[in-house]
């Protein structure tokens, strides 16, 4: 492993340790209790995944005007990182559902949208790597489809944004945890 890769790996590990510490000391919710600790991470990972999907779209759009080998490599790295975060969101969302609601509600529109996005993103990545020259189109389409699916997904049990309705200290911890997840994603892309 070269020194730069080693440094990024160590920084990712350090960020994960900070993340674990923050989640451990984060305040519990009055209703959900310590279940909120899983929800902190689920929300932060989901927002980070959405941010990465948005960046995939922006980079794809920029590639229509400026082609470059390094930009294509960046796009692939972004897509891989988005898939990792979205898969983590799916897993953490399933755990959160089980803990908070007693099970995973398969009819929950957000759950269905999460699965569809996961399959679309994996498909886009593999098709993009197999067929040269379409990565920009697929990346832009991926970004748009993620937002269309989520914005049109209704809700059965999933709240709109539970952190906006929470007390200030919970909101502060959620923001800090989200920022750490974003830092981890940037380090992963590099």
Q: What is the 3-state secondary structure (H, E, C) of the chain?
A: CCHHHHHHHHHHHHHHHHHHHHHHHCCCECCCECCHHHHHHHHHHHHHHHHHHHHHHHHHHHHCCCCCHHHHHHHHHHHHHHHHHHHHHHHHHHHHHHHHHCCCCCCCHHHHHHHHHHHHHHHHHHHHHHCCCCHHHHHHHHHHHHHHHHHHCCCCCCCCCCCCCCCHHHHHHHHHHHHHHHHHHHHHHC
Give the mean pLDDT of the chain: 89
Q: What is the pTM of this model?
A: 0.90
Q: What percent of the chain has pLDDT over 70?
A: 93
139, two tokens: 């990346």
Tell me the average pLDDT across 144-152: 94
Least confident of 11-25, 76-90, 125-139: 125-139
User: In the prediction, which pLDDT does 21 show?
Assistant: 97
Tell me the average pLDDT across 33-51: 92
Tell me the average pLDDT across 156-167: 70
């Amino acid at each position: 492993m070269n020194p730069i890769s080693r440094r990024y790996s160590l920084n990712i590990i350090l960020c994960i340790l900070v993340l674990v510490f923050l989640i451990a000391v984060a305040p519990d919710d009055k209703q959900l209790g310590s279940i909120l600790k899983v929800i902190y991470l689920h929300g932060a990972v989901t927002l980070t995944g959405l941010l990465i999907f948005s960046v995939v779209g922006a980079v794809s759009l920029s590639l229509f005007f400026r082609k470059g080998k390094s930009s294509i490599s960046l796009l692939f790295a972004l897509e891989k990182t988005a898939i990792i975060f979205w898969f983590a969101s799916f897993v953490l969302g399933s755990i959160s559902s089980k803990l908070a609601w007693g099970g995973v509600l398969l009819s929950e529109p957000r759950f269905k949208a999460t699965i569809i996005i996961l399959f679309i993103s994996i498909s886009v990545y593999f098709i993009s790597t197999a067929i040269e020259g379409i990565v920009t189109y697929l990346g832009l389409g991926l970004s748009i489809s993620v937002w269309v699916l989520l914005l049109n997904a209704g809700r059965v049990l999933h709240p709109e944004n539970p952190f906006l309705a929470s007390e200030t200290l919970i909101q502060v911890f959620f923001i800090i945890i989200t920022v750490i997840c974003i830092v981890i994603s940037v380090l992963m892309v590099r």
